[in-house]
Amino acid sequence: MTTDPAPPLVFLVGAGPGNPGLMTVRGAEVLSRADLVLYDQLVPERLLDLAPAHAVRMCVRDLPGNHPDKYPHIHRTLIETASAGKTVVRLKGGDPLIFGRGGEEAEALRAAGLAYEIVPGVTAALAAGAFLEIPLTHRMHSSAIALVTGHELPNKPGNKLDWKAIAAFPGTLAIYMGIARMPVIAAELLKYGKPADTPAAIVERASTGDQRSAYATLGTLEEVRRQAGLEAPGLIIIGEAVAQRPEHPWFEGRPLFGQRVLVTRPAHQAGGMVRKLEHLGAVVSRLPAVEIRDVDNFASVDRALGQLRHGEWDWLVFTSANGVHALLRRLDTIGRDLRDLGGVKLAAIGPKTAESLREYRLRADVVPDTTFSSEGLAGALKPHVAGQRVLLARANRGRELLRTELAKVATVEQVTVYDQVDVTAPEGAVLDALRRGEIRFVTLPSSSIAKGVLAAFDETINGRVERGEIKLIVISPETGKAVRALGYPVAAEATTFTEDGLIEAVLALARQK
Ligand code: SAH
């Protein structure tokens, strides 16, 4: 930053149209050093994960002094925070300067003498083009595109849209904020001679698994919208280009398109699964049921590390990626390194845990072939450990099976290297979505997570599970057993006990319908 004469403290960043993958790399970069993220309501929640843990995340809706048509409180927050030397990211839907008041916010910053940077974003019209496969410009059918607001402020002096000119515009019209006024807009265009049979499209939530679209002509737009039940906010696209789209746009053919899936992994570990599901077209909600924390007291971990260094253990066994990271982080923290593990053999319960070891350039000597569970690991290890000394690195809670099985042939001790703690106040909005039947698949990646999630369910949600409207999908028979023991039906069990196996099980269920 020393090469930068006046490093800006405020960034007006376009978050893109709703699909979290569509924010720019620059946007992600500045977000990763924000102290405050001030975001619009339509911004995808998952982007907030890119901000550092300490950052304050605030939706403009929740700012004090909020008023639907007045924005000075936003300007004030930006200015006060930046003046205190903090980095502020103002995250706005789509592009900040397209119907986003980004210009007004920049003006307020200029007036306050504050440096800022503007990071563009994918605006809704461009996302609709890509995700509905409407060629917004087309050599034969459209040589121009106009971005138009359907919500012109009636009191804007002398600045009314010229609908006559818009009707005559020789290209594609993308009308933002126009759904509520569609009858008026269509009437204006027809009045000024735009043909009633001009192809038109309406789309809600373009670029997300929630995307819904309908196709009509200028003359039938409102009727078609009502039939399809599309509501604001949405985008209207009018022009010959609309007719050039294929019948089945690529995105809507994704295998989980429109399916609502709940991911219950701990917040910091949910990202990979969320991305994979979104890529398959799903709408993903998150309900972290447990959190991973450091142990309160490292004395026994440090003692175990000392014993490993002195060759007192033949085997070190990991039953989760969390365990690998916790133990190796501690090794580093106390000023030691991997050479301390030089003499010990390593075992991992499954591919994910083995992969975590690989991040430290360590190879597991034993990983079960197909059954990634305590049973599988016990079976795979037993032939190797007879008469040897085995240390299990594990969480504060979990099953005893591995220890009791191995203890039949070896000397076994366990050391708790991290704590799993129930999340005390689960996300109310997600529980509401479950109550309303808006989430169909609930993925349960371990018994302890399943217990936490099911404890948060109430009668309404339980009723939906019983009627099969909400389907519980478990990672393994063991987790299935835990779920059934709590009185819940299991809709599907993964056949490979991994995250990918869990996703496969969701896919298989979705295909059935
Ligand atoms: N700055 C934003 C637009 C803000 S105005 C951008 O560049 O996209 C809000 C309007 O944008 C909505 O009323 C709707 O018309 C449109 N919009 C935003 N995201 C959309 C999406 N994913 N699908 C369809 N329309 C969207």
Tokens of 408: 């039949």
297: CATH: 3.40.50.10090
389-447 pLDDT per residue, tens = 999 999 998 889 999 999 999 999 999 999 988 876 667 889 999 999 999 999 999 99
Sheet (strand 235-238) strand order: 145-149, 172-176, 235-238, 199-204, 212-217
Q: What single letter denotes the amino acid at residue 404?
A: T
How many independent structural domains does the chain possess? 4
Last residue of a domain, one of 69, 90, 122: 122
Q: What percent of the chain has pLDDT over 90?
A: 80
Cβ–ligand 1 distance for 233 under 6 Å, the answer yes
Distance between CA atoms of 492 and 473, rounded to whole angstroms?
5
Cβ–ligand 1 distance for 148 under 6 Å, the answer no
Q: Return mean pLDDT, the chain.
A: 92
If DSSP codes are grouped into helix, strand and coil, which group holds residue 238? strand
CA-nearest residue, atom 20 of ligand 1:
124
Residue of 202, 196, 166 lying closest to 182 (CA atoms): 202
Residue of 69, 238, 243, 240 lying closest to 163 (CA atoms): 238
In terms of domains, do 405 and 439 share one?
no
Q: Does residue 2 carry a pLDDT above 80?
A: no
Q: Is 405 inside a domain boundary?
A: yes
Residue of 91, 172, 88, 97 lying closest to 128 (CA atoms): 172
Cβ–ligand 1 distance for 127 under 6 Å, the answer yes
Distance between CA atoms of 210 and 221, rounded to whole angstroms?
21
Exposed e or buried b for every residue in 241-270, given b needs 16+ CB within 10 A? bbbbbeeeeebbeeebbbbbbbbbbbeebb
Beta bridge partners of residue 348, listed in sequence order: 318
Beta bridge partners of residue 318, listed in sequence order: 348, 393
The pLDDT, as a whole number, for residue 435 is: 95
The pLDDT, as a whole number, for residue 291 is: 86
The pLDDT, as a whole number, for residue 151 is: 82
What's the CA-to-centroid distance between 66 and ligand 1, angstroms?
Answer: 21
In terms of domains, do 130 and 244 share one?
yes
The pLDDT, as a whole number, for residue 153 is: 52
What's the sign of the alpha-carbon dihedral 41, 42, 45, 48?
A: negative
86-113 pLDDT per residue, tens = 999 999 999 999 998 899 999 999 999 9
What's the CA-to-centroid distance between 152 and ligand 1, angstroms?
Answer: 15
CA-nearest residue, atom 14 of ligand 1:
234
Q: Does residue 1 carry a pLDDT above 70?
A: no
In terms of domains, do 139 and 204 share one?
yes
**Helices H, strands E: what count in the chain?**
18, 20
In terms of domains, do 450 and 496 share one?
yes
For strands 315-318 and 283-286, give the pairing. unpaired
Domain span at 378? 293-422
What's the CA-to-centroid distance between 315 and ligand 1, angstroms?
Answer: 57
In terms of domains, do 52 and 116 share one?
yes
Distance between CA atoms of 265 and 276, rounded to whole angstroms?
14
The pLDDT, as a whole number, for residue 271 is: 86
Tokens of 387: 């008469």
The pLDDT, as a whole number, for residue 268 is: 80
375-384 pLDDT per residue, tens = 999 999 999 9
Looking at the CA of residue 102, tell me the nearest atom of ligand 1. 1
In terms of domains, do 165 and 150 share one?
yes
- Please compute the mean of the pLDDT values over residues 368-389 and round it to a whole number: 93
For strands 260-263 and 283-286, give the pairing. parallel
Q: Is 453 inside a domain boundary?
A: yes
In terms of domains, do 89 and 203 share one?
no
119-165 pLDDT per residue, tens = 999 999 999 999 999 999 999 999 999 999 998 755 556 657 899 99
The pLDDT, as a whole number, for residue 197 is: 97
In terms of domains, do 142 and 246 share one?
yes
Element (H, E) at 346: strand 345-348
What is the DSSP-derived secondary structure letter of residue 141? T
Cβ–ligand 1 distance for 18 under 6 Å, the answer yes
Determine contact, residues 105/78, Cβ cutoff 8 Å. yes
What's the CA-to-centroid distance between 205 and ligand 1, angstroms?
Answer: 8
- Please compute the mean of the pLDDT values over residues 462-484 and round it to a whole number: 95
Give the CA count within 13 Å in the CB-facing half-sphere of 297: 3
Give the CA count within 13 Å in the CB-facing half-sphere of 340: 18
155-209 pLDDT per residue, tens = 556 657 899 999 999 999 999 999 999 999 999 999 999 999 999 999 999 999 9
The pLDDT, as a whole number, for residue 8 is: 85
206-215 pLDDT per residue, tens = 999 999 999 9
- Please compute the mean of the pLDDT values over residues 448-470 and round it to a whole number: 93
Distance between CA atoms of 105 and 221, rounded to whole angstroms?
35
In terms of domains, do 411 and 454 share one?
no
In terms of domains, do 406 and 297 share one?
yes
In terms of domains, do 330 and 479 share one?
no
Distance between CA atoms of 30 and 176, rounded to whole angstroms?
28
Last residue of a domain, one of 387, 422, 457: 422
Cβ–ligand 1 distance for 98 under 6 Å, the answer yes
What's the CA-to-centroid distance between 54 and ligand 1, angstroms?
Answer: 30
Q: Does residue 69 carry a pLDDT above 60?
A: no
In terms of domains, do 228 and 374 share one?
no
Sorting pLDDT into bands at 50, 70 and 90, what band is 345?
very high
Tokens of 215: 């196709």
Distances (CA, A) of 430 to 58, 86, 271, 284, 367: 18, 31, 17, 10, 36
Residue that the structure tokens 């016990």 belong to: 378
26-67 pLDDT per residue, tens = 999 999 999 999 999 889 988 999 999 899 999 988 776 666
CB atoms within 10 A of CB 368: 21
